[in-house]
Amino acid sequence: MASAILRRDRLRALTLLSPAYLWLTVAIFLPLSAMVFFSVLTDVPFGDREWHLTAGNYQAFLETGTYARLLWKSLQLGATVTALSVLIGFPCAYVLAKVVRGRSREALFLLVVLPFWSNSLVRIFSWAIVLRGNGVLDRAVNAVLPWPVKLNLMYSQSAIVIGLVHSYLPYVILTSYLALQAIDDSLIEAARSLGAKRLTILRRLILPLSMPGLVAGAVLIFVPVVGSFMEPRLLGGRLGTYYGTLIEDQFVAVFNWPLGAALSFILLAVVLVILGLASPILRKARL
Amino acid sequence: MTGKVLGIVGRVYLALILFFLYAPILVMAAMSFNASEFYQLPFAYSGEWYERLWSNRAILSAAWRSIWIAFVVTGIATALGTAAAIALFRYDFPGKKVLRALLFPPIAIPWLIIGTAMLIFFFGIGLGRGTPTVIIGHVALALPYVIVIVSARLATFDATLEEAARVLGASPWQVTKRVTVPWILPGIVAGGLLAFAVSFDQFVVSYFLSEPGDATLPVLIYTSIRKGFTPEINAISTLIIAVSMSVMLLAARYSNFGGER
Amino acid sequence: MAEVRVENLTKTYGPLKALDAVTLDFRDGGFFGLLGPSGSGKTTLLRAIAGFVIPDDGRVLIGGEPVERVPVEAREIGMVFQSYALFPNMTVADNVAFGLDVRRIRGAERDRRVKDVLDLVQLGDLGQRKPHQLSGGQKQRVAMARAIVTRPRVLLLDEPLSALDKALRVEMQVELKRIQREVGITTIFVTHDQEEALTLSDEIGILRNGRLVRHGPPREVYNNPRDAFTARFLGEANLFSGSLEAGGLRLPDGALIPGATTAMVAVRPENVQVSASEPSGPIRLRAEIRRRIFAGAMGTLILDRHGEPIKAIARDSEFAELPDNGRVWLSWREGSAIPVENAPN
């Protein structure tokens, strides 16, 4: 009797769950597996093309050096963008969570995270408009400074970093804000009553307690930046060759899908290692 | 530093951050109303670029495609996601934790990897590229967000309400329709709006999955930018950012994702 | 160790006067309980002494020296918070040592003082635990240890026991008093629990709407509350008011309370005697029994006198011979009727 009810409940749960999870399986998990399979082929298995299994695509990554160098370049880009975002974003989150009081806080918080949820391509394009030679930024700087300056930021490493920080900064603000807000004000008052000054409180209390949120934000920035291709493409011009654009090229320009799949899979492995390392802290952050 | 000084410095800092976040968007929007084709200053007002949009068939059809795809994706993802969230909330069964954990990879793995993997797979099974494939991909990307947001709303739902309704003789379906869904409606609306935004703003996955002939709006913009900037792109970009920010403001009204309760 | 004095302390939040010209002395080494209903300003007063609340007007003196301009961290205070506010990222020992670290007390001196204070609060062997591994009572002890290890001039306690269940609270009251005696530190504590205040304090102060209504040793304040609010707030009181005559207080129904010198008197429930037969003394009032509440050894009787409820408390056995309802006689010993002023609002 009891087991009949239990069985009926299980059936109901299955009915409600299976559409969503079947969809995720077909559109995410099977494709990821297919990518692994593709990465060990000599050619795409479509039509009457000849193909057989090979480790050549991975060998190419190890031997060519160019690919590994690009991955390293992308990892460096990820580190730079992440570090800048953390340095800029954490103080902002602190001000929002612990300095601003009352109703304006919620509105300001919404304003800060709103761009994050809007179209990222368009936001990168807006930087192209601002940074281009003789563009708005050049003119603004020249209007303020008495001597002529040529900034020429467009199509440079700096342009890419600025655009990416702009894209992902709200992420670290969001996660740090949540962590900082969870710190009870009475803890800070207790520290002050014990004689601690602001810097001591920051170092011994606020930073350790908000670390999970900070790390979560950093990981959630680092991972997509390493895989970015649209931003370097648009803001970096000829300098904008990164691991992401390399993968893009395999699929839309060179049409070497097996190599692209292998490169993608290597990136996925890197991402999974990072997520795995960070997962104890991410779980603490309870996002 | 006293509290007052910190307050002032903090607010100035916040203002600088907001300037950094919004200034480029505002510049871009302003340039869409500038008469000069080469973004020359001084600024001279012109509505020409918006008028030109109306006669640009490629942009119009891409915009229309993006909008209806977003609606279809919203419908499917909201329905499937809500059903899954209710099941995860209501029933206990082995493997539930695994199912919840499975929502994380689609959110955390870069879209570049997911997009190329989808391209390979859908080509491999003979579906190829095109609008149906784009919809399948978008729904998969939106589903985890819907499930997470509706689940968050469900977490505020008192499960004894369902039990009380059962005791009063309501069938599970009646309980869902008359007790559970009305309570979580704000979560469903917020999840739906987010699904809309994920699809409407989606570039990476659409880029790999759409046929060159029928691109979505962001894909069309990307390929146009790579050929060269025109104020027309500013105009359509301004419209896009206006739409996506309004959608997100609406979503924020219905749920405080990331905000305080 | 130092005495604390507040003078004319005033703080307003918009239209609300949280503190209204409060002047009060806290004796060196004394244990002072601040009592009052919620919103009475007791916590604001404590936080003003700590330095978290900046008063609009008035002065705070610790050890004779004005501290209004001294920030919290330089006031040399110890504070125990309602939620304990233990730092979750540090061990018990590190929590306790925090104030020493800030003062750059290091090495053997630091370790010795941490050990001594943990022994004092009887937590000697829990130094390496994290706060989330402690029970409520243990957290309370850590919070105390942390607050006193720096040898502050004054110890401020904000509802320190309210998060504990009743049995533990009584146990911790004894502990708190013992620790305070051993350290001999001036202690000011806020509570809404009047029994706790009476048990612990050498002196109490009662606040209402930001004003100090009454202060003094607990027994004195209890026995002579002076005004109706204090009488009712501290313990329970039956109030009788009428018009003053030569012979005493004439109640509206014509009964006389002889010997009264004010238009209102308060009688504690434990002093009200209830009898079925007419008492012989000069005080004789009639009332009807409404309800008898049994609570173990003690019993409570709710009576009604012309619509006014009256409460009497005695050993339950004393109520045994009374009828379950019906008219009875009330009386009390002369001197049990405390003259009080009607409380101004």
Query: Among C170, C195, C230, which residue terminates a domain?
Result: C230
Pairing of strands C264-267, C256-258: unpaired
Distances (CA, A) of A287 to A80, A221, B153: 24, 15, 14
The whole-model pTM stands at 0.83
Q: Can you give the residue ranges of every domain in chain B? A: 57-254
* Alpha helix positions (H), C184-333: 194-200, 218-223, 228-233
Cβ separation A194–C98 shorter than 8 A: yes
Give the pLDDT confidence score for residue A286 in this predicted structure: 54
Cβ separation A20–B259 shorter than 8 A: no
Cβ separation A189–C79 shorter than 8 A: yes
C156 and C223 assigned to the same domain: yes
Please state, for a pLDDT cut of 70, what percent of chain C lies above it: 99
Q: Mean pLDDT of all residues in chain C?
A: 88
C35 and C183 assigned to the same domain: yes
- pLDDT tens string A44-85: 777 677 777 888 788 888 888 889 999 999 999 999 999 999
C33 and C86 assigned to the same domain: yes
Give the pLDDT confidence score for residue B112 in this predicted structure: 93
What CATH number has the domain bearing residue C297? Answer: 2.40.50.100
Residue range of the domain that includes C305: 248-339
- pLDDT tens string A133-175: 666 777 777 777 777 766 677 788 889 999 999 999 988 998 8
- Which ranges of chain B have pLDDT less than 70? 1-2, 41, 255-261
Q: Mean pLDDT of all residues in chain A?
A: 87
Cβ separation A123–B241 shorter than 8 A: yes
SS3 C34: strand
For chain A, positions 146-205, list CB contacts with chain C under 8 A: 184, 186-187, 189-197, 200, 204-205
Contacts of A195 in chain C (CB under 8 A): 73-74, 76, 99, 102-103, 150
Give the class (CATH, top level) of B57-254.
mainly alpha
Mean pLDDT of C160-168: 84
Q: Report yes or no: B165 and B174 within 8 Å, Cβ to Cβ.
A: yes
Cβ separation C79–A184 shorter than 8 A: no
C254 and C199 assigned to the same domain: no
* Alpha helix positions (H), C84-200: 92-102, 107-120, 136-148, 166-183, 194-200
User: In angstroms, rounded to a whole number, what is the distance separating the alpha carbons of residues A176 and B198?
Assistant: 23
C200 and C252 assigned to the same domain: no
Q: Can you give the residue ranges of every domain in chain A? A: 65-285
Contacts of A200 in chain C (CB under 8 A): 102
Number of domains chain C contains:
2
Query: Among C178, C196, C230, which residue terminates a domain?
Result: C230
DSSP string, chain B: --HHHHHHHHHHHHHHHHHHHHHHHHHHHHHTTBS-TT--SS--B--HHHHHHHH-HHHHHHHHHHHHHHHHHHHHHHHHHHHHHHHHHH---TTHHHHHHTTHHHHHS-HHHHHHHHHHHHHHTT--SSHHHHHHHHHHHHHHHHHHHHHHHHTTS-HHHHHHHHHTT--HHHHIIIIIHHHHHHHHHHHHHHHHHHHHT--HHHHHHS-GGG--HHHHHHHHHHH---HHHHHHHHHHHHHHHHHHHHHHHH--TTS--
Predicted-complex ipTM score:
0.87
Best mutation target, C54, C81, C90, C102, to test chain A (most A CBs within 10 A): C102
C37 and C106 assigned to the same domain: yes
Amino acid at A163: G
Q: Nearest chain B Cα to A251, which residue?
A: B116
Q: What is the CATH number of domain A65-285?
A: 1.10.3720.10
Cβ separation C73–A189 shorter than 8 A: no
C269 and C134 assigned to the same domain: no
- pLDDT tens string B163-176: 888 888 788 888 88
Query: Among C230, C265, C284, which residue terminates a domain?
Result: C230
- pLDDT tens string A222-255: 999 999 999 999 998 888 899 999 999 999 888 8
Contacts of A125 in chain B (CB under 8 A): 28, 221, 225, 229, 233, 237
- pLDDT tens string C297-320: 888 888 888 888 888 888 888 777
